[in-house]
Amino acid sequence: MTQVLLVCGAAPARPVLEDALPALAAAGVSVLVCVQNPGHRRSFAGMPTAEPHILTRKRRQGLPAWRWSPVRIVAALEWRARLLLIRRAAPAPRLWLQASSDPWFRAAVQESQVIVAMDRHAVYTAWRANRLKGERRAFYGLPATLRHLAVNGGSAK
């Protein structure tokens, strides 16, 4: 079964989703969605996709219990430095910094055959994800994705 991962740096417009997502579902393509902002999930309400994932950073697991452990201190410093980096970054790299440290995103990239950047802020993240180990394709926008998968959506005639 083909799996497509949609990467959203902004709220996508409903019409393009209403056009493409049912067509993908009808063709047996499963669609995963990751969004940067919880508000962006609204666009996908009622769409044939899995529940959109909000990109989050997970703290490192398995750290020593002792509060003043050097390992724990280094991890905390790294965490704060990365937070600062994310806050100061431009929209496109910020999305990648968030996505690259999210285990859900990395697993979704490994399982997906196609990655789709839904807006220009998501282009860099989709491009970087496509360079991770594995065979897959990456496209900008749903019309090209539908063409690649030979699925007929209304706008892709």
Candidate ranges 31-39, 60-68, 99-107, 118-126; the one touching other proteins (CB under 8 A)? 118-126
Q: How far is the CB of 151 from other proteins (least distance, A)?
A: 14
Candidate ranges 24-32, 70-78, 97-105, 134-142; the one touching other proteins (CB under 8 A)? 134-142
DSSP E strands, the chain = 3-8, 30-35, 53-54, 114-117, 137-140
Closer residue to other proteins in complex, CB, 58/131: 131
Q: Which of 12, 97, 109, 151 binds other proteins (CB under 8 A)?
A: 12
Candidate ranges 11-19, 66-74, 75-83, 99-107; the one touching other proteins (CB under 8 A)? 11-19
Closer residue to other proteins in complex, CB, 29/44: 44
Question: Residue 133, interface with other proteins (CB under 8 A)?
Answer: no
Helix, strand and coil percent figures for the chain, each rounded to 5: 50, 15, 35
Torsion 63-89-137-30 (CA) sign: positive
Q: How far is the CB of 52 from other proteins (least distance, A)?
A: 16
Instruction: Specify the 3-state DSSP secondary structure of 122.
Output: helix
Torsion 55-42-128-103 (CA) sign: positive
**Side-chain half-sphere CA neighbours of 82 within 13 A:** 19
